[in-house]
Structure 1
Amino acid sequence: MSRRLPGPPRRRHRRPGLRARLTRTFALVAVLAVLLTSFLTVGAAFRVIAALNPELALPEGGFPGWDEGGDAATPPPDPETLARWQEVGETVVRNIVRSAVQAAALSALLAVGVAALVTRQLTRPLVRLAEGADRLRGGERDLQLPVPRRRDELRDLTLAFNELTTGLARQEAWRRGLVADIAHDLRTPLAVMRSEIEAMQDGLHPLDEAGLARLHGEVLLLARLVTDLRTLSLAEGGALSLHPRPLDGGEVLRALADAYASRASEAGVTLRVHAPHPAPLSADPDRLTQTLRNLLDNALRYAAPGAVDLSADSVDGHTRLTVRDHGPGFRPGDLARAFERFYRADASRTRDPQGRASSGLGLAIARALTEAQGGELTARNHPEGGAEFTLRLPVEGRTTGPP
């Protein structure tokens, strides 16, 4: 059975659209207005002629005074004069009617032309928007429509459409990059596991505790990557269940420093906590600890050896938690991308000093968890050197999650 090849798309016959309807409507209204004006003008001219009837000698029933004896001092006009005056009156009437008809015809043609031009200008952006929507539906993302010069609703609609296509193009590029990054981060541990297993099967590597430990480490990396992806998707989608309660920022930082004391010592990092005053806040303790752990892991990975300062204070009704290291800080092109998924400022430093692999999602998760609790997470280069992350949380929190 032969398969029929698709031919070129057939051009569909478009029904009369908004432009045709507006043109007909405007033209009809203009023609009716012209006819009404012409009718009223001709009627007014006839009434003026009737008012001037004695002077023009165009009576309907004779001349005043002449049918009833008249005035001996004013003799009636002779038949030749009467015929000439009557001919003049008829000529005036014909000229008025002809002028009115010509004016009506020219006005109607002009009205149709102006209506067509105006409706074309009005509907051209709408036609472009319809065509752009078809192209957008066909998969074209980098689409920008010409913006009308007039500052009206059509201009605002076109600008909104262009912003929509720009956002869709950005999301499409981000989605493609995300899929490529996920595939790359999954492929690396899978390739390592495959090579290790095949080497063990071929007898090149012994099946001992060291080999199993290497495989176990790659499995943990895969599990961490999957867990981080799920956490990030839940936080960004608003489906993460949060249970905020009153906390003190200083106590949270001190508990975090105690938990990281051993790791920091092994990495040559000194943890210093600055929280002289109470710093009340409302947050989910587990998610807040996870956020701070991600920030501290980043500091240990990129700033060791050195010092890391943890501080807490209250400013303008918010509690501010700060994690600052004394390392090299962000490079000019890295700061704007600090919270992007899978972005690593230094590809050669993807593991912390203890050898644990990074999924590249720690900072993205930290920001998503912070925003899910009504807070804000920002990064900057400290004026005195090093990178600084500032976490702002409200004193009164909110619960985010499915009903």
Structure 2
Amino acid sequence: MWTWRHRAWGARRRRRGLRARLTRMFALVAVLAVVLTTVLTVGATFRVLAQFNPEVGTGATWDAAAWQQVASGAGRSIVRSAVQAAFLSALLAIFVAGFVTRQLTRPLARLADGAERLRAGDRRVQLPIPPRQDELRDLTATFNDLTLSLARQEAWRRGLVADIAHDLRTPLAVLRSEIEAMQDGVQPLDGAALTRLHGEVLLLARLVTDLRTLSLAESGVLSLEPRPLDGGEALRGLAEAYSVRAAEVGVTLSVHAPAPLPLYADPDRLRQALGNVMDNALRYAAPGPVELSARQDADGTHLSIRDHGPGFRPDDLARAFERFYRADASRTRDPQGRASSGLGLAIARALVEAQGGQLAARNHPGGGAEFTLRLPSDGGKIQRIKNGN
């Protein structure tokens, strides 16, 4: 049904398109030129014939000179009418061509002006949409969509640079102040001071590593080695790896995963994505329970991590996977003091999508936030992504 409607819509668009307009205009000019030439030429012919009517049936005879004179006059009259018809047809064609050209070049001139403004750096230029349903309207609408996309990307780029600068400046400022205090003798150079310095260095290293991982994943050049895995085993391994940290901050972990639940993913990247989501749960849900569950349907295998924390505010939910975005700006560290780069959820989504899956977030009806990773049950989808399909 969709295909039939799509083709019918395309056929209607072609009938109303620019090519159809030009065809109708040229056909109209040709028809008017033929009609004009025919009317003037036939009219001249009838006027010439009317000159012979008084002589018809009178029995008068025509000598050669008289006949030559009448024929010459008739020829000049017909030629004059034909020239007039050609001249008027040319004027009509020029008028119609000027009108059509004006209608066509006006939106094209706007597009050229808009492209020049875009080249000069104006990312918010918007052009008026032509009223006719044709290719020029589609081209103008596409140009407007392009400028809006460029404006969003420019704003995102500026925000990203500002966020990176901010996240780099904080640990660098701490390092500088600590080192200067040690140089001035205000702060002793002991094990505690070196531990603080080491922690800030680790934060810088993690930020750089996270940025590189995110860039590789989003550009499609991340090295992946997918293999068949069991979703239940992946969640049980995650719970075991985080059991000590969870206990330290008062979080209880539970796993609900019937076996087997096959999925196809890179084990290291899957562990990294799940770990980033778990870090987020420990940061915002402690103390309280965190539930890990798995299920399977026709779309693939679903791995969910649900906490019983405050959940998302409406604005926060829409921005959950933005780079450097934190729902609570003051929570730059987890309850154990581990620093966060602000890229964990963005990296998790990029890693999941690179493997043909999806990562979604929502407020659970029973309270708290829930993240669900959907991954393919076999390797067919990943292979299609590698092939560009």
The whole-number CA distance in structure 2 between the counterparts of 1:330 and 1:221 is: 26
The whole-number CA distance in structure 1 between the counterparts of 2:370 and 2:338 is: 23
The whole-number CA distance in structure 1 between the counterparts of 2:191 and 2:173 is: 20
Q: Which 4+ runs in 1 deviate beyond 4 A?
A: 29-33, 36-54, 74-78, 86-104, 399-402
Equivalent position to 2:340, from 358, 365, 371:
358
Once the two structures are TM-superposed, the CA of residue 110 in structure 1 deviates from its matched residue by 3.4
- Show CA shifts across 1:15-55 (max 9, x none): xxxxxxxx9xx99x969984x76665565456656777763
Contact persistence 1:301–1:353 (CA under 8 A): yes
The 5-angstrom pairing of residues 119-198 of structure 1 reads 119-198=101-180
Contact persistence 1:376–1:393 (CA under 8 A): yes
Equivalent position to 1:390, from 372, 375, 380:
372
Once the two structures are TM-superposed, the CA of residue 279 in structure 1 deviates from its matched residue by 1.0
The whole-number CA distance in structure 2 between the counterparts of 1:274 and 1:31 is: 78
Are 2:215 and 1:233 aligned?
Answer: yes
AA partner of residue 215 (structure 2): S
Are 2:246 and 1:246 aligned?
Answer: no
Contact persistence 2:295–2:303 (CA under 8 A): yes
Once the two structures are TM-superposed, the CA of residue 298 in structure 1 deviates from its matched residue by 0.1
SS at 1:390 equivalent: strand
Equivalent position to 1:203, from 177, 180, 185:
185
The whole-number CA distance in structure 2 between the counterparts of 1:77 and 1:244 is: 108
Once the two structures are TM-superposed, the CA of residue 373 in structure 1 deviates from its matched residue by 0.2
Contact persistence 1:249–1:278 (CA under 8 A): yes
AA partner of residue 364 (structure 2): H
Equivalent position to 2:254, from 253, 265, 272:
272
Are 2:98 and 1:116 aligned?
Answer: yes
The change in CA–CA distance for 1:47 and 1:100 in structure 2 (over 3 A counts) is: closer
Contact persistence 2:36–2:89 (CA under 8 A): no
The change in CA–CA distance for 1:101 and 1:174 in structure 2 (over 3 A counts) is: same
Once the two structures are TM-superposed, the CA of residue 128 in structure 1 deviates from its matched residue by 1.5
Once the two structures are TM-superposed, the CA of residue 140 in structure 1 deviates from its matched residue by 1.1
The change in CA–CA distance for 1:364 and 1:318 in structure 2 (over 3 A counts) is: same
The whole-number CA distance in structure 1 between the counterparts of 2:41 and 2:87 is: 18
Once the two structures are TM-superposed, the CA of residue 288 in structure 1 deviates from its matched residue by 0.1
Are 2:215 and 1:217 aligned?
Answer: no
Once the two structures are TM-superposed, the CA of residue 401 in structure 1 deviates from its matched residue by 7.7
AA partner of residue 180 (structure 1): A
The change in CA–CA distance for 1:198 and 1:45 in structure 2 (over 3 A counts) is: same
Contact persistence 1:125–1:148 (CA under 8 A): yes
**Aligned residue number for residue 325 of structure 2:** 343
Are 2:302 and 1:320 aligned?
Answer: yes
The whole-number CA distance in structure 1 between the counterparts of 2:320 and 2:103 is: 47
The 5-angstrom pairing of residues 55-134 of structure 1 reads 55-57=53-55, 76=60, 101-134=83-116
Percent same amino acid at aligned positions? 69
- Show CA shifts across 1:288-316 (max 9, x none): 00000000000000111111010011011
- Show CA shifts across 1:254-293 (max 9, x none): 0110111110001100101001242100000000000000
Once the two structures are TM-superposed, the CA of residue 117 in structure 1 deviates from its matched residue by 1.5
Work out the number of aligned pairs and report it.
358
**Aligned residue number for residue 10 of structure 1:** none
Greater C-alpha radius of gyration: 1
Q: TM-score, normalised by structure 1?
A: 0.80
Once the two structures are TM-superposed, the CA of residue 320 in structure 1 deviates from its matched residue by 0.3
The change in CA–CA distance for 1:269 and 1:49 in structure 2 (over 3 A counts) is: same
The whole-number CA distance in structure 1 between the counterparts of 2:220 and 2:263 is: 21
Equivalent position to 2:269, from 263, 280, 287:
287
The change in CA–CA distance for 1:45 and 1:401 in structure 2 (over 3 A counts) is: closer
**Aligned residue number for residue 331 of structure 1:** 313
The whole-number CA distance in structure 1 between the counterparts of 2:38 and 2:224 is: 77
The whole-number CA distance in structure 2 between the counterparts of 1:357 and 1:126 is: 54
SS at 1:272 equivalent: strand
The whole-number CA distance in structure 2 between the counterparts of 1:333 and 1:128 is: 38
Contact persistence 1:196–1:215 (CA under 8 A): yes
The whole-number CA distance in structure 2 between the counterparts of 1:138 and 1:75 is: 87
What's the Cα RMSD here? 3.3
SS at 1:355 equivalent: coil
The whole-number CA distance in structure 1 between the counterparts of 2:329 and 2:52 is: 108
The whole-number CA distance in structure 1 between the counterparts of 2:175 and 2:276 is: 26
The whole-number CA distance in structure 1 between the counterparts of 2:157 and 2:43 is: 76
The whole-number CA distance in structure 1 between the counterparts of 2:44 and 2:166 is: 92
What 5-or-longer segments of structure 2 have no aligned partner? 1-21
The whole-number CA distance in structure 2 between the counterparts of 1:231 and 1:337 is: 20
Once the two structures are TM-superposed, the CA of residue 95 in structure 1 deviates from its matched residue by 7.2
What 5-or-longer segments of structure 1 have no aligned partner? 1-22, 59-63, 65-73
Once the two structures are TM-superposed, the CA of residue 101 in structure 1 deviates from its matched residue by 4.9
Q: TM-score, normalised by structure 2?
A: 0.83
Contact persistence 1:381–1:387 (CA under 8 A): yes
Contact persistence 1:312–1:320 (CA under 8 A): yes
Once the two structures are TM-superposed, the CA of residue 109 in structure 1 deviates from its matched residue by 2.7
Higher helix share: 2
